[in-house]
Structure 1
Amino acid sequence: MNTHPQVFSRKNPYYIFDKGHIKDYEGKKGYDGYIDVVDENFNKVGEIHAELLDYLKGKERIFSPSFLIEEIEDAILLVDAQGRIFFANNRYTEILGVEIRKIIGKYIQKIEPEAQIINVLKHKKPYYSPMTHIRSIDKYVSVRIKPLYIDGKFAGAYSIFRDVTEINKLTEEVERIRGVAEEYGSQMRALKAMESMNIIGKSPKFLRMVDRALTAADTKATILIRGEQGVGKEVIAKLIHEKSSRRNKPYIVINCAAIPESLIESELFGYEEGAFTGAREGGKLGKFELANGGTLFLDEIGDMPLSMQAKLLRVLENSEIEKIGSKKNKPIDVRVIAATNQPLEELIRKKKFRSDLYYRLNVVSITIPPLREREYDAIHLANHFLGEYNKKYGKNISLSREVYQLILEYDWPGNVRELRNFIEQGVILARGDQITLEDLPKNYSSMDKVLEEKTQEGEGNSIGLGEGPLKDMLAKYEREILKKFLSKYDDYDKIANLLGISKRSLYRKIKLYNLKGK
């Protein structure tokens, strides 16, 4: 293809229309196949061969800015200095779910009030975020916004963003799977450690607590174990010791509530020979010395006298003890684990516990969940204790369905210790090959309590209790009680608390009795 020399003799050799786009122009073909080329005023500036013009027009259409803007995956928005939209590509309207004709010329402040481009207009500073949530359409976008200057004068701003909602979903799913994998790994680690110590429990809450204890075990940190009576604080303390680097060193236990105030100092620190009247010949080693290199478990730390708290604090800070009757301090290497069922923060407010000692002890805090919050662990523990006491008493007793139900429903204020006592009593008192409700002391049966109270009010016939098997009457009674509470309250948490059962148990009973809420 050849082009007439004059076509390229000017800066813009062919007709330029609308800032850079080739205008279709029906020029007159010459005898040699050339077309006249005119400028903006339709003055002839040269000629171009028809084939070359067609080629250039095709390329201009493919590579024109407007064509490219519509083809890219990014959404593009341009606004003037006042926020009026003067350009938006199709991708922008697709993501926002609006039509171009309805937004061009409109203010972004009205179309998208929370758009970051508004702040860019205000502060004239660029903005970038790899992940921003557009609440109005519930989508996530990666956005880059910059102020727009023309000839050095602020003219508006432009925003380029991409829909990353699916990427965000994938990221969240990956994080969820990673979290599940980590949780599974933690649970497996906890279960393995528990198996070696014959600790029973499978609830996620309990396993997370054990995993936390294992994480802290191999450090030198002082640990404070908290929990209600009977949850097994000493069991967890022993687990921490056995899984630490001190496992082959002494593990010494002292109950601060069981020792008279006058003796606790000598029990902890020991004394020299002749330290006081009646002192043992050769003196006595205290618990700290006995535990040297290992672990000292201070149970019921909340009951320690204030005078001893100050001395314990000095030991924790200086890693040395002063025996009664001695003028020398002795260095020690002891890892201290303390435990309490008391609210130490409340004791601090009442000036019954030193705050400085509290902070020394509470380097790592581990809270053991009560049995009522451990889902089906009560059943696992009951079966474990059943096997233990069957072996001890030479029996082969099982639990009836009603007793299993009772174990699930009862709140176990004494926790694992109370459950152990409950099973031992049942094995001893069972008159057949199963432990039934009739074999148990009534204080364990919350259903019996309800029945007794109602009977005292009006012989139990206010709901037509009638006669029949005990379990049927109890079920009927329970249904009526639940029905009454559901009609009165619409807060399931409140109902569960008033009835003294877990929310999970409440849902199960509602389904069992085919009841509906308020």
Structure 2
Amino acid sequence: MFIHNIIKSSESILESIHDGIAIADSEENVIYVNEANYRITGIQASEFLGKKVSEVVPDSHIPQVLTTGSKLIGIKTRVNDKDVISNIVPFVYKGKIEGAISIFRDISEIRELNQKLKDAKSTIKHLYEELDFLTDADSNIVVGNNIAMVQTLKTSQKASRVSSTVLLQGESGTGKEVIARFIHKHGTRSAKPFITVNCAAIPESLLESELFGYEEGAFTGAKKGGRPGMFELADTGTIFLDEIGDMNFHLQAKLLRVLQSREIMRVGGTRQKQIDVRVIAATNKNLIQMVQDNTFREDLYYRLAVIKILIPSLRQRKEDVHLYIQNAVNKIGKRLGKNVSVTPRAIKILTEYSYPGNIRELENIMEVCIVSDEDGIIDINDLPDSVIPIKKEVKHNINLSFNEFPSLSEVEALILRKAIEAYHSKSDGNDYCSYGNHA
């Protein structure tokens, strides 16, 4: 009677529960099942009600709970070819066990929910990676609207997830090392060494020993005990081989063997050493043309160009030059301890410039402007003459036209008018740009 009253008073609640519910009395007879019970087990309520629990579900643990009076949590049970997880609790009234209730869920549903949770976590992780990619804290990375550069950074992000060899191609000053560091920073080796080697800056006679190290006595002046090379120092991390197109044929062959075998041998050494190094190479040369000219090994090229990333020149990113200016002003101004802003007309002149030295040249120009600036505002007349050659022409194209020889005061007045026309005053606040730390 006690259990029936509970069922009657709470039946609407029991029917709304998503999990399956079965209630048995103290004699192990099933007296209630909800609608979810049929959805999960496939057994009609009529086949349950009035029957012993063990008749319908031989593996049921309800009889055990009725005998011991102890609840069972997370018990796996087989019901009509379905695996379910059950929580079984006894009904105790005035010290006597009156029955038991089993609340259960299909394990396949739990697995499906777990899979959905994993998928959701994976999606969230991907979105965080995308967000991190687009709002990277590295001050050297600028994400603008240029389609080619956006694609470059997306490819770089994908490259960071694997350990394949990468070849970065682009003009001098486009930021190849910045991209290489970006790939390393966002990869699984980010906590490991990142070693940079400029193949063009080291004499050919020394490059081999710099890359692979040397043993004691390998050559005159060799350090006692020998010395590890850059590849050994980069073990488990990344080595960045800049200006790879300047490497001679002999070293190209040795580098190829390293990429194939993942082993190095020091200069003057007799044994191979196993290494685990990711190689990122960069060049401003056309390696395909060099292969055709037999100045670069074809087999090495294909070993290096597993992932090939082309970095566009700054001339090809005109729509984003203002972003690079802002980035340079903020970064350099912070380093030099100066707060500066750039006027819109100075931005316009800087945007029209061709930048043969790319981003490196732009940053150099902005540093010169910031160092020489005295009022915290970079305007046209603060820019180098090389950026605005017309500036020199204006000085020499003053048209003096008088009916008679002018007086000194008239010449001075004309020159002042021409100067004002050519170089507007900085006092016009509307011409100021919000770039820099004044923003």
TM (norm. structure 2) is 0.59
The Cα offsets for residues 5-64 of structure 1, whole Å up to 9 and x where unpaired, read as xxxxxxxxxxxxxxxxxxxxxxxxxxxxxxxxxxxxxxxxxxxxxxxxxxxxxxxxxxxx
Structure 1 residue corresponding to 2:352, chosen from 384, 389, 409:
409
1:202 to 122, 144, 166: 144
Q: Is the 8 A contact 1:190 1:207 kept in 2?
A: no
Matched, 1:360 2:300: no
Cα offset for 1:372? 2.1
C-alpha contact (below 8 Å) 1:224/1:337 kept by paired residues? yes
- Shift of the 190–471 alpha-carbon distance from structure 1 to 2, 3 Å rule, reads farther
Q: Quick one: which amino acid aligns to residue 423 of structure 1?
A: M
Aligned to 1:51: none
Q: 1:186 & 1:207 partners in 2: Cα distance?
A: 15
Question: By how many angstroms is 1:229 displaced?
Answer: 0.9
Could you tell me which runs of 5 or more consecutive residues in structure 2 were left unpaired when the two chains were aligned. Answer: 1-126, 400-413, 425-439
Aligned partners of 2:365 and 2:384 also within 8 Å: no
1:274 aligned onto 2:217? yes
AA at the equivalent of 2:361: E
Higher relative CO (Cα under 8 Å, sequence separation at least 6) belongs to: 2
- Residue 275 of structure 1 aligns to which amino acid in structure 2? A
CA shift, 1:395, in A, is 3.0
Asked if 1 retains the 8 angstrom alpha-carbon contact of 2:140 and 2:178, the reply is no
Check conservation: 2:381, 2:423, Cα contact below 8 A. no
Q: Give the equivalent residue in structure 1 for 2:259.
A: 316
Map of 1:130-209 to 2, 5 A cutoff?
Answer: 188=131, 190-192=133-135, 194-196=136-138, 198-203=140-145, 204-209=147-152
Report Cα offsets for 1:123-159 as digits up to 9, x if no partner: xxxxxxxxxxxxxxxxxxxxxxxxxxxxxxxxxxxxx
> Aligned AA for 1:199?
I
Q: Give the CA deviation at 1:471.
A: 8.7
Runs of 4+ in structure 1 deviating by more than 6 angstroms, as ranges, are 184-187
Aligned residue runs from structure 1 range 474-513, under 5 A: none
Matched letter for residue 363 of structure 2: R
Which of residues 351, 375, 392 is equivalent to 1:432? 375
Calculate percent identity across the aligned residue pairs.
Answer: 43
Query: Is the counterpart of residue 327 in structure 1 residue 275 in structure 2?
Result: no
The alpha-carbon deviation at position 207 of structure 1 amounts to 2.0
Equivalents in 1 of 2:256, 2:192: separation in Å?
Answer: 23
* Contact 1:294–1:334 (Cα < 8 Å) also in 2: yes
Counterpart of 2:328 in structure 1 is 385
Highest Rg: 1 or 2?
Answer: 1
Q: Provide the residue aligned with 1:260 in structure 2.
A: 203
Give the equivalent residue in structure 2 for 1:336: 279
Aligned equivalents of 1:339, 1:211: Cα separation in 2: 18
2:142 corresponds to which letter in structure 1? I
What's the CA shift string for 1:323-366, capped at 9, x where partnerless?
A: 11111111111110000011112222222211111111111100
AA at the equivalent of 1:287: M
The TM-score, its normalising length taken from structure 1, stands at 0.51
Quick check: 1:298–1:337 contact (8 Å CA) kept in 2? yes
Per-residue CA deviation, residues 420-465 of structure 1 (Å, 9 max, x unaligned), is 111111112224332222222211115447x47xx98xx587xxxx
Give the deviation of 1:393 after TM superposition.
3.4
3-state SS of paired residue (1:442): coil
| Distance in 1, Cα, partners of 2:141 & 2:295 | 34
Alignment of 1:449-460 (within 5 A): 451=393, 459=397
Structure 1 pair 200/471, CA: closer, same or farther in 2 (3 Å)? farther
Instruction: Note the C-alpha offset of 1:411.
Output: 1.6
CA distance in 2, matches of 1:267, 1:363: 25
Q: What is the distance in 1 between the residues matched to 2:154 and 2:167? A: 15
What secondary structure is seen at the aligned counterpart in 2 of 1:285?
coil
Report how far residue 472 of structure 1 moved.
Answer: 5.7
| 1:216-235 paired onto structure 2 within 5 Å | 216-235=159-178
CA contact (8 A) 2:216 2:226 kept: yes
* Amino acid in structure 1 at the alignment position of 2:197: I
Counterpart code for 2:378? I
Task: Read off the aligned partner of 1:200 and give its amino acid letter.
Answer: V
Q: RMSD of aligned C-alpha atoms?
A: 2.7
Q: Distance in 1 between matches of 2:234 and 2:338?
A: 41
Which amino acid in 2 is paired with 1:238?
R
